[in-house]
Structure 1
Amino acid sequence: MQSTLITTLLLPLALGVIMLGLGLGLTIDDFRRVARYPRAVLTGLLLQTGVLPWVALGLALLFRLPPELAVGLMLLAASPGGATANIYSHLARGDVALNITLTAINSVLCLVTLPVILNLSLRFFLGEGQYVPPPVQKIVEVAAIIILPVAIGMTVRALAPAFAARMEKPIRAMSVLVLVLLIVAAVSQAWDTLVTWFAAVGLACLLFNLASMGIGYAAPIGLKLPRRQAIAIAMEIGIHNGTLAIFIALNVLGNATMSVPAAVYSLLMFFTAAGFAWWAARRPAVLATQPG
């Protein structure tokens, strides 16, 4: 995936505006609620750091991926959730405050977990380790795109609640538009990669994506967590920060092949997450019409 004006400037700017809009719908109490009931946060973190790498390892071995592609899949599994996870969760009526909390904590944790998982993967699949520095720069970018705009939006809501309420529907509509543009941009950039590499790694990426979202939804439901939190966790661990994985593969490891799983996954996840969001957003209305 090559950098363009769209991906380096316009896209982060659009995501920042959307996150500001999401902040207009949040209050400090939303985050206090998450802090008071930490089971959801702990569940999301455990699934992200303790379960998904094993799922990726199992798929890499099952499909007998070439070593470099296997490392790329493990790198993807070690990457935290991306900014679009918050947008999809918002559209699916998930707990956005939980999403933002998980994104922030996961991004900090990955400074430790990502180098460890990646180094072990390099040793296992290629027989040699390599020092992988913590991706501090990218974590700062995540904070700039997600946390800062949300904080500004929450401040606006506290000072002008009527304005924040009026902006809810326009922001939801803009979220859909940005996601459509994201999908178009992803398809246009990654189409050649998808066509070239899908036979080798496409099915593994698709199954990893479906497994991530499926586990992310089923595990919280099984633990009797609220459905809104289950939706948030499913989106958070199902929508990985593919940009971070691609950056590390290309600029740290210097291996374009290792970036392929993240590029293919980043394209597929837009469609699977859209389908899940559509199902999740409709289901409460369906259930409400059923007799008790």
Structure 2
Amino acid sequence: MEQSIVTAVFLPLALGIIMLGMGMTLTLHDFRRVFLYPKAILIGLGNQLLLLPLLGFGLALAFGLKAEFAVGLMLLALCPGGATSNIISHLAKADLALSISLTAISSTITNFSIPIFLNLALFYFMGGEQAIQLPIAQTMLQIFVVTLLPVTLGMWIKSRFPAFTERSLKAVNLISAVFFVLILLLAIVKERANIIPYFQQAGLAALSLNAGALLAGYFIGKLWGLSRPQNMAISIETGIQNGTLAIALALSPAVLNNTQMAIPPAIYSLIMFVTAAVVVVLSRRKVGREAE
């Protein structure tokens, strides 16, 4: 769970490269369409900001988690999707513009909502209030550098060099898939000694949060008559949380400074790559059948 060269250097670099490639598949029209028809945005934000915390709270009670694990699960449920959800949406052929828009908006809102709701969780589960404060400027800068900046650059490349972009798309998709697998393997190797103890302590609750959020996100979108790509994007944005941010907040001396609170996000960060791989495979198969 500690910072290493993998999490501090390779992971942000890999995410930035993948986001650059994703930007090369988008145009301004994709984002204009998302905001001209905002129903999908509102449903996605409702899932992330309201459904997830309620689901996390219910699971913490249902599994009878001890106080520190319950707060850790709530912290995870309060975090936004992050760049990883955009990568998975890209690989799953979901609505990428919707995914990136949801990440950007929810990441901004949660800078303010996390302190409020996490303080309530601390008060409820730990019997006392421990006020926290997120480094808002630092968090927003990180989101911009890793997500919005490379996407914007990729869109600029597509608009200026369309022929080059068209020739590069297959290579971009291959690089995205390779980096996704590498990130998964590095995460497993990094936490290999702790995987079994973590899972024994909080694995079922973390898995239930992940699977429940993925399914709820998809079927709520379907209930509201959204398209398959939109449903997939909302499902992934709801079910793939920023475990790295949750771990960082749990371990930070300036925020929670509690190792046990980092355990649910840590095991969730491993589980979500496995469930995400399943989602990608199933989604691409469905797209293939529809194309046929």
Q: Bin the TM-score by the shorter chain.
A: over 0.9
Q: How far apart, in 2, do the equivalents of 1:175 and 1:30 lie?
A: 20
- The aligned counterpart of 2:97 is 97
Q: Which moved more, 1:279-288 or 1:26-35?
A: 279-288
Q: How far apart, in 2, do the equivalents of 1:194 and 1:69 lie?
A: 16
- In the TM superposition, what whole-angstrom CA distance separates every residue of 1:161-191 from its partner, at most 9, and x where no partner exists? 1111111111110111001111111101222
- The aligned counterpart of 1:41 is 41
Q: How far apart, in 2, do the equivalents of 1:228 and 1:82 lie?
A: 19
Gaps of 5+ in 2: none
| Identity within the alignment, % | 44
Look up the equivalent residue of 2:275 and give its one-letter code.
Answer: T
Contact 2:250–2:259, Cα closer than 8 Å, also in 1: yes
1:255 aligns with 2:249: no
- The aligned counterpart of 2:66 is 66
- The aligned counterpart of 1:30 is 30
Q: How far apart, in 2, do the equivalents of 1:31 and 1:13 lie?
A: 25
Q: What stretches of structure 1 move > 4 A for 4+ residues in a row?
A: none
Contact 1:220–1:229, Cα closer than 8 Å, also in 2: yes
Contact 1:2–1:189, Cα closer than 8 Å, also in 2: no
Q: CA deviation at 1:288?
A: 4.6
Q: CA deviation at 1:226?
A: 0.9
Q: How far apart, in 2, do the equivalents of 1:282 and 1:146 lie?
A: 27
- The aligned counterpart of 2:132 is 132
Q: How far apart, in 2, do the equivalents of 1:135 and 1:58 lie?
A: 28
Q: Which moved more, 1:260-269 or 1:4-13?
A: 4-13
1:266 aligns with 2:269: yes
Q: CA deviation at 1:52?
A: 0.8
1:238 aligns with 2:259: no
Q: How far apart, in 2, do the equivalents of 1:53 and 1:14 lie?
A: 29
Q: Which moved more, 1:127-136 or 1:155-164?
A: 127-136
Contact 1:25–1:154, Cα closer than 8 Å, also in 2: yes
In 2 relative to 1, CA 39–68 (structure 1 residues): closer, same or farther, beyond 3 Å?
A: same
Q: Which moved more, 1:230-239 or 1:131-140?
A: 131-140
Q: CA deviation at 1:238?
A: 1.1
- The aligned counterpart of 1:189 is 190
SS of 2:194's equivalent in the other structure is helix
Q: CA deviation at 1:131?
A: 1.6
Contact 1:93–1:281, Cα closer than 8 Å, also in 2: yes
Gaps of 5+ in 1: none
Contact 1:138–1:244, Cα closer than 8 Å, also in 2: no
- The aligned counterpart of 1:170 is 171
Contact 1:212–1:238, Cα closer than 8 Å, also in 2: yes
Contact 1:194–1:202, Cα closer than 8 Å, also in 2: no
Q: Which moved more, 1:195-204 or 1:96-105?
A: 195-204
Q: How far apart, in 2, do the equivalents of 1:243 and 1:140 lie?
A: 16
Q: What TM-score do you get using the length of structure 1 for normalisation? A: 0.97
SS of 1:132's equivalent in the other structure is coil
Look up the equivalent residue of 1:169 and give its one-letter code.
Answer: K
In 2 relative to 1, CA 45–135 (structure 1 residues): closer, same or farther, beyond 3 Å?
A: farther
- The aligned counterpart of 1:118 is 118
SS of 1:80's equivalent in the other structure is coil
Q: Which moved more, 1:73-82 or 1:158-167?
A: 158-167
Look up the equivalent residue of 1:144 and give its one-letter code.
Answer: V
Q: CA deviation at 1:286?
A: 2.2
CA RMSD of aligned residues (A): 1.0
Q: How far apart, in 1, do the equivalents of 2:184 and 2:259 lie?
A: 22
- The aligned counterpart of 1:82 is 82
Contact 2:119–2:129, Cα closer than 8 Å, also in 1: yes
Q: What TM-score do you get using the length of structure 2 for normalisation? A: 0.97
